[in-house]
Amino acid sequence: MAGLLQRLLTRSGILPVLRSQWRADQAAAAEKLEKRLEKQLSEVDRLSSELAERMRELEPLVNSVERFKQASHETRVLRATMMLDIADRRKGAHDARVFDAGHVGPHIERAIAAAPVQTDPSVHIVINNLTPLDTYQAILDGVPPRVFFSQRDDEKQNLKLSMLDVAPAWTFDTLEFLETTLIPRLMVPPLLRRFESYIREFYVREYGPERGPAFATLPHEATGGRLMLRRPGYHLDPHLDPKRVVFTCLLYFARPGDSEGFGTTFYRMNGTPNIDRTSTFYPQTQGIKCDLVKMVPFRPNTAVAFLNWGGAHGADIPKDAPKDTERYSYQFYVSPEPSALAALIGETESAVAE
């Protein structure tokens, strides 16, 4: 039926006319659509230009808001500094021996010597009662509150002595003690002795029986030290620290009432990852499954030191933890002294730095 109708329309001359009209209608519709699109695009361009102009007009206001926020933060820092200094003076001066190496050093030596070496999932020690109690309390008194840390990340914040312009006097004294005495002079030497055989074993495994012992005898030093504040929502996947790190140490600054549940977690790696890194290495990126073995509780006056191979480590403070949760700790690495390492392997000092 359709074919008969088409033949009749063709013979009568109507079909060509219909086709021509259809093409004309289509062309007219396309032209209308094109004009509409051009008009809409022109309007979008106009609105974009207007928005850009408004943004330029608002830029001084945005900058003013940022300056106000910065000034407000600086005011809070100054006020906190003044109030803490006043409170410290009212409480009375700390006993001079709390930061005295002669008082603190022997205690730390005994605490490290008494800590049993554990090997699952990697070589590590948990050091209880790291410092004398009066020293630990003095350190807690010097750990600055949250306002002194960077405000950019609410879950993960770090602080070093070199970053502080304004802070309570005791905070400056505390950080200086940590960075110049407690860690490099009182902790690193006994930790190196405690790990000596394991460090030698690692270097022999990495560089062979001929070169390995030479690496083990290199002078080592504390690097990468930082006071850390971690809050709910903080999560760190199982990882190994930068390659030059021989071992890592964390000092827990837990306060009364702090939960023990937010300590350092240790994982067994089910596989041998291809570790070629200069920065933090995450085994799971190579499909290496990491099984939780243990968590070192976040307890007062405790430290955990662990070799940077064999197993991975991480940390977690769930988002549903109490919103006022604050975990303060101090982390540092121990690595070969850069100039000595560079001389041994024949590379520049900058090439072997973390």
Burial class of residue 238 (count of CB atoms within 10 Å of its CB; 0-12, 13-18, 19+): buried
pLDDT of residue 127: 98
Same domain, 7 and 119: no
Give the angle 340-211-273 at the CA atoms, nearest 5°.
Answer: 95
Tell me the β-bridge partners of 265: 295, 314
Flag whether pLDDT at 196 surpasses 80.
yes
Residue 247 sits in which domain range?
97-352
Same domain, 45 and 181: no
Tell me how long the chain is.
354
Same domain, 285 and 244: yes
User: Hey, CA dihedral for 113, 114, 115, 117, is it positive or negative?
Assistant: positive
Model confidence at 110, pLDDT cuts 50, 70, 90, reads very high
Model confidence at 70, pLDDT cuts 50, 70, 90, reads low
CA end-to-end span of the chain, whole Å?
Answer: 85
Per-residue pLDDT tens over the stretch 7-61: 655 666 665 665 666 666 666 666 676 677 677 767 767 777 777 777 777 677 5
Out of 68, 84, 117, a domain closes at 68
pLDDT of residue 343: 85
Q: Specify the range with the lowest mean pLDDT, choosing from 51-55, 77-81, 101-105, 256-260.
A: 51-55
pLDDT of residue 18: 59
* Mean pLDDT calculated for residue range 248-253: 98
Same domain, 126 and 199: yes
- Let me know if residue 84 belongs to a domain: no
Same domain, 101 and 237: yes
pTM reported for the whole predicted model: 0.78
Q: What percent of the chain has pLDDT over 70?
A: 82
Q: In what order do the strands lie in the sheet with 264-270?
A: 235-239, 311-316, 264-270, 289-296
Q: Phi-psi category of 159—alpha, beta or left, where left has phi over 0 and alpha has psi -120 to 50?
A: beta
Supply the mean pLDDT for the chain: 85
- Let me know if residue 83 belongs to a domain: no
Same domain, 32 and 117: no
Provide the domain count of the chain. 2
Same domain, 167 and 212: yes
* Mean pLDDT calculated for residue range 183-205: 95
Per-residue pLDDT tens over the stretch 159-173: 988 888 889 899 999
State the Cα torsion 248-249-255-256 to the nearest 10°: 110
Per-residue pLDDT tens over the stretch 302-333: 999 999 988 999 999 999 999 999 999 999 99
Q: What is the CATH number of the domain that holds 164?
A: 2.60.120
